Amino acid sequence: MNDPEPDPVPADDALLAARSIISAVRHEGTLAPAQMSLLAAVLEALLDVQIDPAEIDSISVQSLARRAAGWSDEFKRRTVQLMVLGELVLKPIPPDVARTVANFAEVLEVDDQFVRIARRYAQGGFGLAWLDLQQSGFVEHWQLAGTDQLKTTVKLEHQLAAGVEDTQLAEAWSAFRDLAPGTLGRGVWDMYRGRGFGLPGTNGGASAYLAQHDFVHVLADFGTNLKGEFEVFSLLGRADPDPKGFAWIATLIGLFETGYVADAGFFTSDLAEPRLDEHQMHVRLADALYRGRVLRDRLGVDLLEVDYHEHAGRPVADVCKDLGLVPKSARARDAGSPGAFDLDGMTTKQQAYAASLDAA
């Protein structure tokens, strides 16, 4: 079977969307270098538009309103969210950019909380923005999580909590060590063991719901340092059939890149190293978004709702094929995207732990 491909966006619509995104996030008529690089990579990956953002003519709000009348509601909303992505990489967000994005969203008839979140950032209302983000669908993912796929009967008082003891859950995860090498479950076990991660169900281990994304690390072949988390949550967010999945992307950018979000409950910000100001990272992020888009069109299910335990004993390649998860592109690899088990994909602390195992 050929690799699945997403449904193509009509060329005229794709170019119009690209023009509107670029127009919305210009500050005093220009784009910041990080915006130009990021948007060039993302627009090519998601809309198949190869352009130099600096050379694109602006489009007015009124012109966009007339020409985008036939767009679907989902396409309008995802276009607005790419506008928000283009402004979130700015620190601070200029108030005029936040207003322009809000105006474009209004003419597209998109009432999106992420537009308001960015305006809060621009106004310095970080606490209010985080409250908005919590209400935008981000925390809702956790609150509405079922228990069948999580293999736990423990009712978490706070869905972002970690370290909730659950003997049955811990035993299910421990059993992965007996699976054959190359299987999904064994891969996740090896990743946990090689980095010193606590198993779900054990004191100090990851919550059952957060651990769902670790299966995606193995399947999508992403590292577990902060850049790897950008990649995996970009894929997860774009793969979600509900556009609210963008909350993952907005949170990770706000948390790790700009400092707009100080603590998301399961990750804590560390601004010692910028993550999104280099072209290589933009290519990696764009590829993750593209792979998520393919999954959205093929699978149509939130990846955090998949029962990965049912697939634990199967080869990783077979699970990827059934889900419709295409491999990481050569461009992303050339841009430095490490695999799930590469040392370059680990944090310094994780590398030290892995070295201690080798020395033992």
The confidence score (pLDDT) of residue 343 equals: 95
| CA atoms in the 13 A half-sphere facing the CB of 162 | 12
Burial status of residue 190 (CB atoms within 10 A of its CB: 0-12, 13-18, 19 or more): middle
Please write down the HEC assignment for all residues of 136-198. HHHHHHHHCCCCCCCCCCCCCCCCCCCCCCCHHHHHHHHHHHHCCCCEHHHHHHHHHHHHCCC
pTM value?
A: 0.85
The DSSP letter of residue 243 is: G
Amino acid 82: pLDDT: 93
Q: What integer pLDDT is reported at residue 191 of this predicted model?
A: 96
Per-residue pLDDT of the chain (360 residues; tens, 9 = 90+): 344 566 788 999 999 999 999 999 999 999 999 999 999 999 999 999 999 999 999 999 999 999 999 999 999 999 999 998 898 888 888 999 999 999 999 999 998 777 766 666 555 544 444 455 555 454 555 555 555 677 776 654 444 455 567 888 899 999 999 999 999 999 999 999 999 998 988 887 877 877 889 999 999 999 998 889 889 989 998 999 887 788 777 767 765 555 555 554 555 544 455 566 789 999 999 999 999 999 998 998 889 889 999 999 999 999 999 999 999 999 999 999 999 999 999 988 899 999 998 876
C-alpha separations of 201 from 163, 172, 204, 234 in Å: 7, 9, 8, 27
Distances (CA, A) of 3 to 51, 200, 302, 339: 26, 33, 20, 20
Lookup result for tokens 């699978």: 299
pLDDT at 121: 56
Closest to 219 (Cα-Cα) out of 351, 312, 353: 312
Structure tokens at 33: 């270098």
